[in-house]
Amino acid sequence: GENVEQHPSTLSVQEGDSAVIKCTYSDSASNYFPWYKQELGKRPQLIIDIRSNVGEKKDQRIAVTLNKTAKHFSLHITETQPEDSAVYFCAASIAGGLTGTASKLTFGTGTRLQVTL
């Protein structure tokens, strides 16, 4: 089955700096790669996702890049703010088929991001 590795496990940056989190996946059939932000005691919330037919996607301060050949994808957060502090999870799955959805996500182990003043 799919295996997703994520690093670093913890990341501390100063406010205004950039943060980069990297993930690798094992199943070349995976085609959907979401990133979730989870604050303490809260549910995971989708912040950005990318499909295998594109190499990069950007949404304001957040961007994700995908290298299908190397089977890795990364999350980039620019101009970090204290409210960006949370645990971030990458995930991979195969989207499509009967349900058209990507419900069977395989998650990485998470990165705890701390943005200091």
Partner 1 sequence: DAGVTQSPTHLIKTRGQHVTLRCSPISGHKSVSWYQQVLGQGPQFIFQYYEKEERGRGNFPDRFSARQFPNYSSELNVNALLLGDSALYLCASSGVPGNTGELFFGEGSRLTVL
Residues in contact with partner 1 by CB under 8 A are: 1, 6, 32, 34, 42-46, 49, 89, 91, 95, 98-110
User: Mind giving me the DSSP string for 32-53?
Assistant: EEEEEEE-TTS--EEEEEEETT
CA distance 101 to 94: 8
Rg value, the chain, Cα:
14
Distance CA 98, CA 80 (A): 39
- Kindly state the smallest distance separating residue 89's Cβ from partner 1, in Å: 5
Taking the complex as a whole, the smallest distance from the CB of residue 69 to partner 1 amounts, in Å, to 23
What is the nearest approach in angstroms of partner 1 to the Cβ of residue 61? 20
Which is nearer to partner 1, 59 or 79 (by Cβ)?
Answer: 59
The smaller minimum CB distance to partner 1, of residues 52 and 78, is found at: 52
Spacing of C-alpha 50 from chain mean position? 9
Comparing CB distances to partner 1, the nearer of 43 and 117 is 43
